[in-house]
Each structure stands twice: as structure tokens, then as C-alpha cells.
Structure 1
Amino acid sequence: MKEITDILNAYYYAQKQGKKAALATVVKVDGSSYRRPGARMLVTDDGLLTGAISGGCLEGDALKKALSAIHQQENRLVMYDTTDEDDAKFGVQLGCNGIVHILFEPIDGLDENNPIKILESINGERENAVIVTLFSLQSKTQLGTRSIIKSENQFGNLPTSIALETLADAQQVLANEKSELKNYKIENELVDGFIEFVKPPIALIIAGAGNDAQPLATIAHLLGWQVTIADGRPTHATLQRFPNAKILVTKPAQILPQLSMDTQTAVVLMTHNYNYDTELLGLLLQTDVPYIGALGPKKKLVRMLDELEMNTETNRSRVYGPVGLDIGAETAEEIAISIIAEIKSSLSGATASSLKEKKQAIHSQTKSIS
């Protein structure tokens, strides 16, 4: 979601400057690549790039293709094939041994269903959504980013002949929480559909406004997470100390009623106030929040659970205490990195093991079905 937010902000700025822009989207990948389907980049007509569609190797050529799309005001699909070992002949030096399909869409500010308007409809919302992007590997007709589907509503403009089928597929992707590639037929012409599942950003609630909470809040904000600081001390929980966070100066019992927690929510207890953390822990264990982290030694956590009379195997397994991955962290900044990594790993369902030990592809493949 951070990439989408950055792209929207860059587009708004470009509009104010009277610049034209195009959106580049990775819609299909075969084999290995640095970015997966759903990666986006905004290109303005003066060459400014926001977002990324590769590790930097594609951006130079993509800039040329985007400027061409802006000039011609026409969607364009470009394939980069690096399965040949001598990928230098493509002039992009990918070195990834894969085939990447990128859709370039010039932004028409007068079109109420342009790709930017579609991305706007999910920005800042805490709701799962599906973005439908239609393209074709077999013809020059590239329909582009066409719709956003949520559980209760839809925004965009799908072709009438495939609208019902596409909406059904989108609802299935919402249910499965996994993107898919689909095939459709419009007037006897095959059309590919990237049905992309999009989660809201992680919401991080930090109970504690001490100095060690500052790097945690800073790194989380850098990642595009939504940060809330909760503490009972008005001298510590301030916008001056946490300029990019929502501030709650309150007792534990008043924290949860002011927040909306979902499957992308993480809470870290680090007030260094034993009674505050214990009371909040008891309240959190009565919710479905997927990640609860507790700073401090394991014996402290056991004592807290004992005092709450909630020391069950289920509760012990729910709480990440001591919080963070074992990376040898010592400083507040290093501890923040270990906590951020554990939260990301937990909410993504990843193993948090070294990538060198992984037998499968680093990224999960987008499922392709006909």
C-alpha cells in the first residue's frame, strides 16, 4: 500500500505542476524477477519515477516506454524476456532469468475511471480489496486498470460482456486472499486479467512512548504502516516526539475503544510500566488481534499471565515475548528492526528463516487459471 500512496502523492504533485504521467504495472511474470505482479511505478513526462517495477535494471527502458505511451495516449504492454543467458542484448541487464510483462497506461485526468482514480478508492482504507487489470498477450488491445472490488461495493468500469464473470472471480480472490491470473473472451478475442488481492497497510499500536519506541515508530512509518502511540504520560506521548503517529494519552482501558483492530494489526507492549502493560495485555487477549508482542524477558510475561489468571498454553503461544527476532540486537534501533521483522513475518505467514535455506521461489507465484 505504501507504493500506491507514494504514487498517488507524486501524481497530485505532477498535476499541480501541469505535468503528464503514465502508470507502469507489472501484470505477469514467468520465472524469476525482482518484483512480482502488482508492482507499480509512476512516470512523469519530465522523467521523475515514483515506485519501482524492478531492482533498478528496467527503469531506464521503462521510462522510454512510458514517455511513448504518454505521447501516444495509448495503453501499451511491453515484455522483457531474460530467459536467454545473454540478456545483455535486451539492454536491460536483468539477470533474473524470467519474463516480465509490464503494462503502461497514460493517465487521462478527465477520465473518472482512470487508474489513479481507481487506486484512490482504496488509499487509506482498512479493507481488503481486489484490483482488476485487463491486458492481452495476443493483441494490441490493452484495456488496463479497470476496477476495484471490495466486499460491499465496486468502483470502475468493467466491459459489460465479462463483468459478471470478472466480479465472481474477484469475490473468490477476496475470499482466498491470493491474486490470480484469469482468461476472458471479449468478442472472440482472448483477454488476460490480473485479479490482484490488496491488503490494507499494517496498523502498529505501540504501548509506550519512551525513547526506545521512537525508532520503532520511525521505521514502521517508513514502511507505510499506520502507527499509534498509547501511553499514560502526556510528557512522553507527544507529536513532537512521534510526528507521524496517532497519539493516545490514556489509561489501558480506554485504548481499545478508540481503535479498530483487524487481521493486519500488531500491538507491542513497551511502556516499561509493569501494571500498564499487564492490564493492556489482559484486554488484548480477549480480542482477535493477530500479533501481540511484549518487551522484556520471558519470566516477566509468565508473571503477567499468572497475575491475570490467563496463563494458558494458547495465550502463551499468542504472545511474542520476548518480542522480536533473534538478530543479536542491542541498541534501540536494532531492537526496532528485530520487532518490525517479526511482525512482518508473522502477519505474512513467512518463516523468518534465511533465504539461502529456502528451496522454493522467494516469492509465491500468482495462480494462473483459464
Structure 2
Amino acid sequence: MSNHVNHLLSQWLPLKDKHKWVLGFIFKTEGSCYRKAGAMMLFSDAGHQLGILSGGCLESDIVKKAQRVMTDGVSRTAVYDDEDEEDIAFKLGVGCGGVVHLSLVPVNQDNQYLSLDAVSKTLTNGDACEWACTVDGTRGVCEAVEYSNAKPRKASLETIKGMRTLSVLMLPPIHLLVIGGGYDATFMTRLASLQGYLVSLWDPRPAQARIEHFPEVNYLIEDPSVEGLRLHLSEHNIQAAVLMSHHREIDAKALQVLSKRALTYTAMLGPLHRKQEIMDLAGIQDTDFSQYFASPAGFDIGGELPEHIALSVIAQCHAVFHTKPTNLKR
């Protein structure tokens, strides 16, 4: 299960009026902490716990505080200090050594669900937004942001009109296209899904890309033609692609289509000499890719198994989207 905010909100949305809900969110941290400001978790009176606010060490105490908020409807804040011997965090054995400032607030029709329903709709549509919420939970606002200009950044805590307000940039899930539906692709799609990615899969070979082998895939492209692939790319906000069909013509045709798209991340499995063969076959060059293109795909982590390769590629993809160094190459 993914802990991406879009996944949490998609579970909460159909249940938002069926139970009492409390939102827990970190609005400030000091020192080393497992989760940072902007992390959120949803609790219900039916026992739902969506998300995570620590490595699992604080949740038992946070649940108790959330239940009090459900009972009396009064927002609360809590501070967990791992270095204070009198603090519950110290007694729970939290080992990060930092301080977590947490807010627990009701989420209901009275406060317009803190605009979390609008956040969910925006992210599901593949758009970005800025979510601002007062620490006391009296007001939440969702404002659309141009996704092409939205880069991951830290949440900020400011005092606006006398109210402490946390602002969080919410980005939609990365949509990854996997070219190739063989056994090794099952690890790629599974790991991408765990990161909260949306996943599309295309393989024109009838014996490949069987739905029973890819239960976590969001879109299995049934049209085997290159035009079908091109149409899917046009209809969906796909930002990343991995070519792993292990078939020269399939990879070449797909790479030619992808070279016309401004994807943030494109990667192709195989050694350097194969890269040149495929690019020659496709009639394209490195300069046809305006953003990150990796071939061989992934970081060199010393792995050989399909699951190792999937890990190295998804890690590289994640690094690119979060503007982290990608010089650990094969």
C-alpha cells in the first residue's frame, strides 16, 4: 500500500461522511525526524488509520489523542521530544533524536473538510495544488498550481492574519509507462505502485502483459499498435517511461514515440552498445530528449536480479523528480 497523499485521500473521500474523522499533520520539526512538516494521517471512529506520522513508534499515543478530538471536537497540538526523558517520545524509545510538533483537528462538513476533498480531486486529475491549513484546524484552502512549474519543496509554516498556517505543495502521483510485459516487468510495476505511482503498461505481443500478472497496473494498453501507444500518451499525463521489452523493434518504435514527448524521465534497459543499436534503428539521438534520458537504465547498485534492477531504476526515477544527484551511473 502506498502512503502517497493521493492514495490516502482516495480511501478517505468515499467515507468522509460515514464516520468521525481527525486529521493529524506535522506542522514543524526540529532536528532529525522520520517524517517532516506536511506529513499527514487520517483517523476515524471506526478504527481507520490512513498514513503514517513516524516510523510507527508514536502512532499508539497519537491514536489516543485523536480519539479525544473525536469525542469532544476540540483540536489539539502535541509535541514529541526524543531528548526529553519526561516526554512520551523518550519513553516510547523513539530513536531519531528530534522534536515533532503535531496538530490533531476534526475533519467534517463544518470546516469544509479542510479542503482535503478539493486536494483529492486536484491530484486525481493529475494537477498540483498548494494546501494551506491553520494549525488549529479552523480553515483549509486548496489553490491550483501550474504543474509544469511545480518542483518538490519543503512545507512552510507562517503566521497569516494572526494564525499559524502550514502551506504544503501537493504533487500528483508520477505516471510511469512501462514498455514490455515480461516477467521482470512485474517487479518494476509492483515497486512503482508501492511508491504511489500510476502505472501504464504496453506490450504489443499477445503472450506478454497478461492482466493476471500485473494486478497493480492502472492502465493496461490493449491497442498493440504504435498509434495506440501514442494515443494513450496524449490522453494521460505520463511523465516517465522505462523501456524493457528486450525486443529491438518494439523498443525502437516506442523510443521514437517517446522522443517526441517532453518526459521528465526516460530510461532503457540494456548495455551501451544496445542503446546505440536501438537509437539507430529508431533514427533518433540523445539530443532528441529534452530532459533526463538514461541508458543503461538505473543506478549501479551491484544487483543482477530483476528486483534489483527495478529498485535501481525506480530509485533513479525518484531522484530525477526530486532534483537529487543522479551521477551514480552504471
Fold in common (TM above 0.5):
yes
Cα distance change of structure 1 residues 303 and 19 upon mapping to structure 2, 3 Å threshold:
same
Distance in 2 separating the partners of 1:337 and 1:134? 38
* Residue 247 (str. 1) matches residue 241 (str. 2): no
How far has the Cα of 1:180 moved from its partner? 4.5
Match of residue 175 from structure 2:
203
2:145 pairs with 1:151: yes
Q: Which residue of 2 aligns with 1:330?
A: 304
Tell me the CA shift for residue 2 of structure 1.
4.2
Closer, same or farther in 2 for the Cα pair 1:105/1:88, shift >3 Å? closer
Report deviation, 1:87: 5.5
Question: How far apart, in 2, do the equivalents of 1:237 and 1:48 lie?
Answer: 34
2:246 match: 272
Deviations, residues 222-281 of structure 1 (Å, cap 9, x unaligned)? 222111011112332332222232111322343122224999721111112201211221
* Alignment match, 1:94: 94
The match for 2:269 among 283, 292, 295 is 295
SS at match of 1:102: strand
Q: CA deviation at 1:347?
A: 1.6
Could you say if the C-alpha distance between residues 348 and 105 of structure 1 is closer, same or farther in structure 2, counting changes exceeding 3 Å? same
Q: Distance in 2 between matches of 1:176 and 1:201?
A: 13
Question: CA separation of 1:230/1:67 partners in 2, compared to 1, >3 Å: closer, same or farther?
Answer: same
| CA–CA separation in structure 1 for the residues paired with 2:139 and 2:98 | 23
Aligned to 1:44: 44
Distance 1:284 1:89, change over 3 A: closer
Moved more, 241-250 or 224-233: 241-250
CA–CA separation in structure 2 for the residues paired with 1:111 and 1:89: 31
The CA deviation at 1:203 is 0.7
Give 1:357's aligned residue. none
The change in CA–CA distance for 1:261 and 1:120 in structure 2 (over 3 A counts) is same
2:153 equivalent to 1:178: yes
Structure 1 unmatched ranges of 5 or more? 136-141, 153-170, 355-370
Distance of aligned partners of 1:51 and 1:97 in 2 relative to their CA distance in 1, 3 Å threshold: same
Amino acid at match of 1:340: I
Which amino acid in 2 is paired with 1:181?
S
Compute the displacement of 1:146 (Å): 0.5
Separation in 2, partners of 1:284, 1:350? 23
Distance 1:143 1:48 in 2: 20
**Is residue 77–residue 101 contact of structure 2 (8 Å, CA) maintained in 1?**
yes
Quick one: which amino acid aligns to residue 247 of structure 1? L
Contact 2:286 2:293 in 1 (8 A): no
- Structure 1, 262-271 or 126-135: larger mean CA deviation: 262-271
Number of equivalences: 324
CA–CA separation in structure 2 for the residues paired with 1:292 and 1:58 = 39
TM-score by length of 2: 0.85
Residue 12 of structure 2 corresponds to which residue in structure 1?
A: 11
CA contact (8 A) 1:69 1:104 kept: yes
Looking at structure 1, the residues matched to 152 and 308 of structure 2 have their Cα atoms a distance apart, in angstroms, of 32
Moved more, 306-315 or 120-129: 306-315
Asked if the contact 2:80/2:89 (under 8 Å) is kept, the reply is no
Structure 2 contact 21–45 (Cα < 8 Å) conserved:
yes
Match of 1:76 in 2: 76
Using the alignment, how far apart are the partners of 1:175 and 1:348 within structure 2? Answer: 11
- Cα distance in 1 for partners of 2:324, 2:236 equals 19
Pairing partner for 2:293 from 307, 315, 319: 319
SS at match of 1:96: coil
Shift of 1:296: 1.1
Check the 8 A contact 2:28/2:157 in 1, yes or no. no
Amino acid at match of 1:3: H
Matched residue type, 1:57: C
Q: 1:225 to 1:133 in 2, by over 3 A?
A: same
Q: Is the 1:23–1:107 Cα contact (8 Å) retained in structure 2?
A: yes
TM alignment of 1:250-261, pairs within 5 A: 250-260=224-234
Q: CA RMSD in A?
A: 3.1
The answer to whether the aligner puts 1:234 opposite 2:209 as a matched pair is no
Q: Describe the superposition over 1:38-86 as per-residue Cα deviations: whole angstroms up to 9, x where unpaired.
A: 2111122354422110111211111111111111112222222334477
